[in-house]
Amino acid sequence: MTDLPILSTVSSPADLRSLDEPTMVRLAAEIRSFLVAEVSTTGGHLGPNLGVVELTLAVHRVFTSPSDPVIFDTGHQAYVHKIVTGRRDLFDTLRQRDGLSGYPARDESPHDWTESSHGSASLSYADGLAKAFAVTGQTDRRVVAVIGDGALTGGMAWEALESIAEGVDRPVVIVVNDNGRSYRPTVGGLAHTLAALRDRGVGRGTASGHPRRLIHGLRHQPAGEVSPRTLFSDLGLTYLGPVDGHDLHALEDALRRARDHGGPVIVHAVTEKGHGYAPALADDTDRMHCIGVTDPVTGESRAQQTRHWTDVFAGELVRLAEERKDIVAVTAAMTDPTGLTMFAERFPDRLFDVGIAEQHAVTSAAGLALGGLHPVVALYSTFLNRAFDQLLMDVGLLHLPVTFVLDRAGITGPDGPSHNGMWDLSLTAVVPGIRIATPRDGVRLIAALDRCTSVTGPTVLRFPKGTLPPAVPALRETADYDVLAEPDGDAEDTVARRILVVNYGALTEQAFAAAEALTDAGYVVTLIDPVWVTPVADPVVDLAADADLVITVEDNGVHGGAGQQLHRALATAEVDTPVRYLAEDQTFPTHGTRDEVLADYGLDEASVVRRVLDWAGHLFGDHRK
């Protein structure tokens, strides 16, 4: 973009402090135009960032970053922060290979203190930083945590609040970005309390309490008077607000008072998600929360409409719930992204959204199971990491019938290292008695969901992000595995080396590439797809015992993954067949497309072929017998 006369002069927070208020208002408009143009081209989190333009500008005018750390929770609302801290010219690379991360990234700028992308963690970071500054005598430094109202539904945030409140002389400024929404309208008692505070701040006439109806009234309120609001004052925290989050003058006044207070302060800023962009404001589904390539004028997606893994799960869960009254669904502020919208519309009394509180979601599901229901807990794979103890001790120990449906399993790509779901096979398989399914296509996803919800005990169903692949039919099916490829009758009579390729989940093309390359090289190859990752079925062990080499293929970290689980089962059965794993190394991958990240791990088809031929060659030499 070229028509950005003010924005083009801003390369650091210091540049903001010399601008007068009318110029700042024009700058905010330029930033919104810039965001719409750039994010529509690259994809990314548009709605949340349009809502924090004035808030971010005010924070950077009042505080001195990076000396005063500014931490964003969740990190997807940090685009404006990136713009004013010298990264504006990188936005055409947003979320692309070797480009700008969609979240704060410590290796990008000293202004980014964390890699904050999972919700509810900012206040704990802030508490620790403030304590570190106190211990080292840096009493002139403030810590600012900008936390979305949705992230305040997480229990970790409240644990941190109690600790922050104890430090009466430690200057922590908590800015609550209250737009009434995380992905969808924020749920729970806290949301109602914040709505009540907003109403009290603007008077009557705002029955719904939604920020879109509050902004106009807030413009005429005093700039955030100190008020002993019950919600926070009982914790020992000073409360300022509510403040219009799009009024720079009111925001800066409240933030200066918070900065000068000398102790922990909460500034309650009411913002409007998607502010200033008509397509976002007209969208009640939060489709504009995170967009792909989009028409910047209309907000319409330019991506080809395709059927996704999530769509298959969504339809099948509704069908199951129509047949079974015991099926209920649980999610953590992710009703739309995990495909539960249709379920919520059809069975509103059987959908429980607990907010950004995965730990509570899992143990609440355990309670639902104790009450005779079969809960389906739908989460992104990466967010189950936060609730492992609850999975292990509250569900697993009681061997309760809870099904965990993990969307975005494996490599997700553009969202970066914190959002890859490459840990769940390693984590969930630790739980005694658990069953894990990794379907290779939509047909098997439906069958796996049916099986999981029929099991008396904990089950996991995982599938990746993205477009549904073509169905891969089995040559033949058994109770424990599908045979996808096998030698013909003549090959069965040879004495060539036998290789078993075991496919787990959605890397089926890579598994076929391995099998075909080995077959072409003269080996006798069988390719199977097990019904369950764990427990490992005895017939799968028997097949491995008859092979000279086993190769496993999975979209998960290698440590504790499906391959190592099979290898352990072979060792227990005293089967000495060597096993080689095609899986992800235990690293935090950088952002890029899914294919780019898989290639980094040697899981593109060309690398898979090279690796399996190398393994076979090293084990068996150049001959095939």
pLDDT in tens, 250-276: 999 999 999 999 999 999 999 999 898
- Asked, for residue 512, whether it belongs to a domain, the answer is yes
The closest of 241, 242, 216, 244 to 58, measured between CA atoms, is: 244
Cβ–Cβ < 8 Å for 417, 591: yes
User: What DSSP element (H or E) covers 14?
Assistant: helix 13-16
570 and 510 inside one domain: yes
- Asked, for residue 7, whether it belongs to a domain, the answer is no
Question: Which amino acids are annotated as binding site for Mg(2+), given as ranges?
Answer: 149, 179
Question: Which amino acids are annotated as binding site for thiamine diphosphate, given as ranges?
Answer: 76, 150-151, 179, 277, 358
- Asked, for residue 76, whether it belongs to a domain, the answer is yes
Average pLDDT, rounded, for the chain: 90
Kindly give, in sequence order, each residue whose CB lies less than 8 Å from that of residue 56, ignoring residues fewer than 6 positions away: 80, 81, 84, 146
432 and 491 inside one domain: no
Q: Which residues form the catalytic set?
A: 273, 358, 386
Q: Is the peptide bond before 414 cis (omega within 30 degrees of 0)?
A: no
Question: Which amino acids are annotated as binding site, given as ranges?
Answer: 76, 149-151, 179, 277, 358
- Asked, for residue 608, whether it belongs to a domain, the answer is yes
User: What's the CA gap between 481 and 539, in Å, rounded?
Assistant: 8
354 and 453 inside one domain: yes
603 and 518 inside one domain: yes
421 and 502 inside one domain: no
CATH code of the domain in which 256 resides: 3.40.50.970
Boundaries of domain holding 497: 476-620
- Asked, for residue 162, whether it belongs to a domain, the answer is yes
User: What's the CA gap between 426 and 401, in Å, rounded?
Assistant: 20
- Is a pLDDT exceeding 70 seen at residue 625? no
- Asked, for residue 9, whether it belongs to a domain, the answer is no
pLDDT in tens, 37-88: 999 999 999 999 999 999 999 999 999 999 999 999 988 999 999 999 999 9
pLDDT in tens, 418-455: 899 999 999 999 999 999 999 999 999 999 999 999 99
Counting the structural domains of the chain, the total is 3
430 and 337 inside one domain: yes
Angle, CA of 82, 182 and 215, to the nearest 5°: 85
Query: Mean pLDDT across the stretch 598-625?
Result: 90
Last residue of a domain, one of 462, 491, 514: 462
58 and 205 inside one domain: yes
pLDDT in tens, 211-246: 443 333 343 344 445 443 667 777 889 999 899 999
552 and 616 inside one domain: yes
339 and 437 inside one domain: yes
Structure tokens at 48: 């949340």
pLDDT in tens, 393-415: 999 999 999 999 999 999 999 98
Cα–Cα distances (Å) from 79 to 44, 186, 300, 541, in that order, read 10, 22, 21, 51
- Asked, for residue 185, whether it belongs to a domain, the answer is yes
CATH code of the domain in which 614 resides: 3.40.50.920
- Is a pLDDT exceeding 80 seen at residue 624? no
Each residue of 124-142: b (16+ CB within 10 Å) or e? bbbbebbbebeeeeeeebb
426 and 506 inside one domain: no
Left (φ > 0), alpha (ψ -120 to 50) or beta: where does 137 sit? left
